[in-house]
Amino acid sequence: MLIPLNGTSRITEIETRFTALFGMQPTILVRAPGRVNLIGEHTDYNDGFVFPAAIDRDVLIAAAPRTDRQVRAYALNFNQSSTFTLEDIQPATEGRERWSNYIRAMAWVLHEEGLGTQGMNCVTLGDVPLGAGLSSSAAMLVASGLAFAAGAGLELEPVRLALLAQRAEREFVGVNVGIMDQFISALGQKDHALLIDTRSLTYEAVPLPQSGVTIVIADTNKKRGLVDSEYNTRRAECERAVEILKESLPEIIALRDVSLADFERYADRLPEETRRRARHVVTEDARTLESVTALKAGDITRFGQLMNESHYSLQHDYEVSCRELDAMVEAARSIEGVYGARMTGAGFGGCTVSLVATEAVEKFQQEVPALYKQATGLTPAIYVTTAAQGAQRLK
Ligand code: GLA
């Protein structure tokens, strides 16, 4: 399904196909990347901290405004077209046009927020693996937002763009996500991960080591079946924990406000399962902040340990891992030179992220797939990645 082309040839491909389909040149070209979260999982809807990087895989959209109120879209990944009118934006229910819901969602949110929209011809081409937990949907939303903004002559601040994309996903697509994925897709910086405070929406770009260490993503190729319903259940459990802890800590608004010490003091007031959920969030926020301190001090070993601890907590306290993610993490850690490995994203399938000594990457690529296949019967995909720039208008 994916069309693996490098940057320049993908641009040539999308522009050529646009011209062939619409009989005109595209006047707009935008890109928005997927992401990998290094640490800080399931903290963003608790007002906490996350530490993701944009990856070198993205969604490209070539577009040209139309004089009417129609949007005509074509997805090269599916060889499918989809048309809708800006006068009455409805979700596509037809299975083969579902990809267009992200474009529809962005048009809808721009309209809802009183920002202009303009009819448009567009072609999309993505190489973010779909449904793998690398935020192909956030990339599609952010890229669509940029394309519509360009078409209507709107200047959107990147944080605003991220918030619009989040609202679009929540209210139009119907998944109650946090802000991490859209934020990093819109604001990512080359060679950096961003420490994002998801409450204030401020962030710090932290440089990643440019030699010696490599980020390796491993896709379990396990489809993330349960993710939507379990995601919403976890959110509700976190809210429940806040309600109960508020009786002892009236000033808290979200789990982010609960210190480790306060958690220890009052944890026994929570039912057992709620307690484990809350413990994950409270400890994950602390790990995320500590991991950034470690990284800045050049202590990759500590960073890796914190990634491992994060996985353990997601596995046992938050219970969003699965057999395949655990097997991949175990396979990764068996390779000498792996500093740490954990699941990344919402869980229940999708990908792991490992921090690997660069000289061990080849061995990782050779050995992890076989170990993983032995354990699960599934063939994984390995992506060696670098931190990429966030969304951009290229033309
Ligand atoms: C998904 C959501 C994010 C975040 C992660 C878990 O990717 O879109 O907002 O909650 O799960 O960290």
d(CA 308, CA 333): 9
d(CA 316, CA 155): 45
Mean pLDDT of the 182-200 span: 98
Whether 214 and 377 have beta carbons less than 8 Å apart is answered as no
> Of 138, 143, 97, 91, which is closest to residue 120 (Cα–Cα)?
143
pLDDT of residue 111: 97
Number of Cβ within 10 Å of residue 275's Cβ equals 19
Computed from CA positions of residues 224, 226, 229, 235, in that sequence, does the dihedral angle turn out positive or negative? negative
Whether 81 and 74 have beta carbons less than 8 Å apart is answered as yes
Domains, the chain: 7-206 (3.30.230.10)
Using the mean position of ligand 1's atoms as its centre, give its distance from the Cα of residue 34 in Å. Answer: 13
Report whether pLDDT(95) > 90: no
d(CA 116, CA 254): 35
* Cβ-based neighbours of 68, under 8 Å, separated by 6 or more: 119
Mean pLDDT of the 383-392 span: 98
For 268-285, the pLDDT digits (tens) are 999 999 999 999 999 999
Instruction: Report which ligand 1 atom has the smallest distance to the Cα of 175.
Output: 8
Closest C-alpha to ligand 1, atom 1: 346
Using the mean position of ligand 1's atoms as its centre, give its distance from the Cα of residue 115 in Å. Answer: 27
Stated pTM of the model? 0.96
Best residue among 38, 42, 128, 285 to mutate for probing ligand 1's pocket (most ligand atoms within 8 Å of CB) is 42
For 195-242, the pLDDT digits (tens) are 999 999 999 999 999 999 999 999 999 987 667 789 999 999 999 999
Query: Where are the extended beta strands (E) located within the chain?
Result: 28-39, 49-65, 70-75, 80-85, 120-126, 192-197, 202-207, 213-219, 338-344, 351-357, 381-385, 392-393
* Cβ-based neighbours of 233, under 8 Å, separated by 6 or more: none
Using the mean position of ligand 1's atoms as its centre, give its distance from the Cα of residue 201 in Å. Answer: 15
For 315-355, the pLDDT digits (tens) are 999 999 999 999 999 999 999 999 999 999 999 999 999 99
3-state SS assignment for residue 35: strand
Which residue ranges have their beta carbon within 6 Å of ligand 1?
A: 41-42, 44-45, 177-178, 180-181, 345-346
d(CA 387, CA 52): 9
For 14-50, the pLDDT digits (tens) are 999 999 999 999 999 999 999 999 999 999 999 999 9
